[in-house]
Amino acid sequence: MSRRNGERPLRVAVIGAGWAARSIWLPRLAAHPRFTVVAVVDPDPRARAAASGGAYPALADVRDLAPGEVDIAVVAVPNHLHATVAETILGAGIPVFVEKPVCLTSAEADRLAAAESAGGAVLLAGSAARYRTDVRTLLEAARTVGPVRHISLGWVRARGIPSGAGWFTHRRLSGGGALMDLGWHLLDVAAPLLGKAKFRHVLGTVSDDFVTDASVRAGWRQDENVDVSGDVEDTARGFLVAPDGPSVSVTASWASHRPDDLTTVVVDGGTGTLSLSCTFGFSPDRQERSVLTLSRQGQETVLPGPEEPVGAEYDRLLDDLPRLLADPAARGAAVREAARNVDAIERLYGSAAPAPRRPVRPAAPEPYRSGPVRAVVFDLDGVLVDSFPVMRQAFTRAYREVVGDGEPPFEEYNRHLGRYFPDIMRIMDLPLEMEGPFVRESARLADQVTLFPGVRELLQLLRQRGVRLAVATGKAGWRARSLLDRLGVLPLFDHVIGSDEVARAKPAPDIVLRALDLLRADPQEAVMVGDAVTDLAAARDAGVVAAAALWGETDEAALLAAEPDLTLRKPADVASLCVPAEVLLT
């Protein structure tokens, strides 16, 4: 594709430095005359250095992107960060392209719609599969088969469970298994035939016969870490009914007993049937060729179509990206499609019998209760910051907007603090849709959140002593970092981890174990300071000292009944546990 009329290339930043960035986006963007890569962004210095190869500027944070110097950002990060990263970039006024899955929940779709509207920049998104020549031919031919009655969608791999350094097979980080990964592509392909409304009925099943079998991993991805644990499905099957359109059947499978990978799209119309047999994606276990047939009145015709290289759909997507970026009609379109997709996926998972969960929980050593502490993991709300008045207001507003009249059960919500907000909603049998207004109101009232007296001085003292510090919170990581940054204490922490950034939220130990790993600390030399029973449970299962913080608006009786290893009455009490600087120097 040649440059037209002297147009300058679009300046693009690639967010993320994993397999997708290295194998799909950076090589194609570098070769495309309509684009020039101006930045690679990844918090891991080794990953961004490897991805940029010295050819592009490498940044650690998307907030370092200058709106006047970037025309579009391509988001290629793990699933659970898609919406958060896109929301941040859109808020800065920079257009964004996000491949599937655009978001993991309906609440995230609402946040993206708000960010697109507030920031004035367009969100572009979707699966490149829609740009395949065979798919485009099928969609064009679908106009000739009368009203569409049913669409059958299938993507079944012989072997191809992705690892993604472990996050792909953990629901908290991936949003789901084969349905979220492959099923989103399939729903995107069918979207032009389905209208704009959400599905009227959704029913599905899931299974996990292969997900922990290392022999069926997607070897072509060359992921660094092969994790054989997981709590997602490897196969999902669903039946969906559009309000005024066709029914849709979906089968998405990461692994099977097939010898090769097969993708099928069948469109049954009033006057004919179109059937496509091919292989989506980059797997080497491919169909010999793509075949598209039209059946009508007992006669079957093979429709001609050129063979194309694997991955050519991404080149075609890039060809079209400048047009979409300039098209006013593109604003809001991607978010609407994403909202329908994620609504269907949420409802299918909700209707399915849950797949057996196989969490891998390491044996927890006995806590070391007498020696000095060299690493401290803090909860956030009720320990570092006094956020209860804001949480009460935000919870009340969210309850009023989504549920309606009645007394908002904040006291019950308060008893579950420390858990991830969507998990609390499930426990309380409240709508997950409350997350959107809760997050919005929390952000609006953020200026009212303050540090507890003595916290800033404690953190400064611990840093002077060389103690390693982390935050492990039930909040989303981006929200926690934003709050601590506004309060001026973010630089005092080595790491801040949110529940959306680990496989399982508290009371599971994952977030504490992750903090210890990042801090390079052994459990025997660490303490977890929390104000909720879930904090103490996570600490115990991680093998660290469980310290109850009693200076906030907490349920002291419940905390003491949980038998913490230590009780702390004021923030300064933490300092007495920690190794002094002179010990570190010996």
Catalytic residue list? 379
Element (H, E) at 291: strand 291-296
Instruction: Give the number of other Cβ atoms within 10 Å of residue 408's Cβ.
Output: 17
Residues facing residue 495 across a β-bridge: 470
- The pair of three-digit structure tokens given for residue 127, joined into one six-digit string: 């699966």
Amino acid at 480: A
- Backbone angles phi and psi of 416, in degrees to 5: -100, 5
Contact 474, 417 (CB under 8 A): yes
Helix (H, G, I), strand (E, B) or coil at 27: helix
Angle at 316 between CA 311 and CA 319, to 5 degrees: 140
Burial of 288 (0-12, 13-18, 19+ CB in 10 A): exposed
Return the closest-CA partner of residue 366 out of 522, 584, 561.
Answer: 522
Instruction: Give the number of other Cβ atoms within 10 Å of residue 60's Cβ.
Output: 12
Burial of 357 (0-12, 13-18, 19+ CB in 10 A): exposed
Contact 452, 385 (CB under 8 A): yes
- The pair of three-digit structure tokens given for residue 472, joined into one six-digit string: 């492990």
**Helix/strand/coil (H, E, C) string of 319-360?**
HHHHHHHHCHHHCCHHHHHHHHHHHHHHHHHHHCCCCCCECC
